[in-house]
């Protein structure tokens, strides 16, 4: 799905319980990770934060402006998004809109390196990538992500486990963290190859398949054709594509059709029917069904929201 997914909202602290109005912090410690919940109730600039381990942060409420990598990367940080920050990397954070009525709330999950390495070793040894030159890894160059449904639900489960008082919470948390790593790597792989697929067509068969999908989005596209392009059997292509990108090739094609349709619908001279047929869907009611499934709204509602 293309929609942005917001994690479950945690209860805000009452003002009497706050130690400070800027970056008030609650900590939940597990065997291989530390879950931090930060709340800010006052506008502020250049708040510095650094962790020893790699950190996954996720915005729950409000807005931050993040400055990373010595200030070379600056961007708005909003609910439904996550940011991966390497260990010892200083975050400099602005809170341009925070106040008592509009507090910010963010979680920061600091993960020990050995658990991540164990997960990478397991994947590389037992579920290697289709290209022998590539390995599973968390790519810190692809650090700002929109949460997929899978990332959102995994983070929600981790929040629940971290705040529960159960005997097996460390074991459950470790399994959930490993799933979260995999979901993040799949999302990164999908984002990286989508943003620059032409760069990878000579060395990555899936990039070649994605280039074909984009070039023929107005036509019928079969898995048989894509698997032939990748020199794989149909079952192998389907299995490996879903494993590396966290989405089946069929769903990927649907998302690309809807992505292209959204671009067309921004032109008010293009009718919804024209957009439907231009992306290779020959049934208007089916187009409405797919659009609603991917975006959560109908094409008509999407157009209204553009105004």
- Tell me the C-alpha to C-alpha distance, in Å, between residue 4 and each of 14, 81, 94, 146, 172: 29, 8, 23, 6, 26
* Tens-place pLDDT, residues 76-109: 999 999 999 999 999 999 999 998 888 899 999 9
Report, at the CATH architecture level, how domain 251-306 is classified. Orthogonal Bundle (1.10)
Report pLDDT for 245.
92
Report pLDDT for 1.
47
User: Token pair of 102, please?
Assistant: 């509009």
Answer yes or no: is pLDDT of 47 > 60: yes
* Tens-place pLDDT, residues 235-263: 999 999 999 999 999 999 999 999 999 99
Report pLDDT for 18.
42
Q: What is the pTM of this model?
A: 0.81
CATH code, 1-195: 2.60.120.280
Write the CB contacts of 177 (distance below 8 Å, at least 6 apart in sequence). Answer: 32, 33, 111, 115, 119, 158
Percent of the chain with pLDDT over 90: 70
User: Token pair of 280, please?
Assistant: 């290779």
Answer yes or no: is pLDDT of 7 > 60: no
Least confident of 14-23, 46-55, 129-138, 184-193: 14-23
Question: How many helices, marked H, and strands, marked E, lie in the chain?
Answer: 11, 10
Question: Stretch 148-171: mean pLDDT, rounded?
Answer: 90
Question: What is the overall mean pLDDT for the chain?
Answer: 89
Answer yes or no: is pLDDT of 144 > 70: yes
- Domain boundaries, given as residue ranges, for the chain: 1-195, 197-246, 251-306
Write the CB contacts of 95 (distance below 8 Å, at least 6 apart in sequence). Answer: 22, 40, 42, 43, 44, 45, 47, 62, 63, 64, 65, 104
Rounded distance between C-alpha atoms, residue 53 and residue 97, angstroms: 29
Rounded distance between C-alpha atoms, residue 258 and residue 303, angstroms: 13
* Tens-place pLDDT, residues 23-46: 688 889 999 999 999 999 889 989
């Amino acid at each position: 799905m293309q929609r942005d997914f917001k994690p479950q909202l945690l209860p805000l602290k009452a003002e009497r319980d706050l130690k400070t109005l800027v970056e008030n912090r609650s900590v939940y410690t597990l065997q291989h990770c530390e879950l931090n919940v930060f709340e800010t109730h006052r506008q502020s600039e250049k708040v510095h934060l650094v962790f020893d381990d790699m950190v996954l942060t996720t915005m729950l409420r409000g807005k931050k402006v993040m400055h990373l990598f010595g200030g070379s990367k600056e961007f708005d940080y909003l609910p439904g998004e996550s940011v991966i920050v390497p260990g010892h990397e200083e975050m400099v954070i602005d809170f341009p809109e925070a106040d008592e009525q509009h507090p910010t709330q963010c979680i920061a999950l600091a993960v020990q390196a050995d658990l991540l390495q164990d997960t990478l070793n397991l994947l590389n040894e037992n579920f290697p990538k289709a290209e022998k030159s590539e390995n599973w890894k968390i790519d810190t160059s692809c650090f700002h992500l929109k949460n997929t449904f899978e990332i959102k639900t995994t983070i929600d489960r981790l929040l629940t486990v971290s705040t529960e008082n159960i005997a097996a919470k460390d074991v459950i948390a470790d399994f959930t963290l490993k799933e979260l790593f995999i979901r993040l790597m799949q999302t990164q792989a999908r984002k990286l190859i989508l943003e620059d697929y032409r760069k990878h067509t000579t060395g990555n068969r899936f990039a070649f398949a994605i280039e074909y999908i984009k070039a023929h989005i107005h036509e019928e596209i079969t898995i048989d054709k894509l698997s032939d392009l990748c020199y794989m059997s149909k079952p192998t292509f389907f299995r490996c594509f879903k494993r590396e990108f966290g989405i089946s090739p069929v769903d990927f094609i649907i998302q690309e059709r809807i992505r292209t349709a959204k671009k067309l619908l921004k032109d008010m001279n293009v009718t919804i029917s024209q957009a439907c047929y231009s992306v290779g869907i020959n049934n208007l009611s089916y187009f409405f069904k797919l659009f609603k499934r991917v975006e959560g709204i109908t094409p008509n509602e999407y157009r209204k929201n553009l105004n």
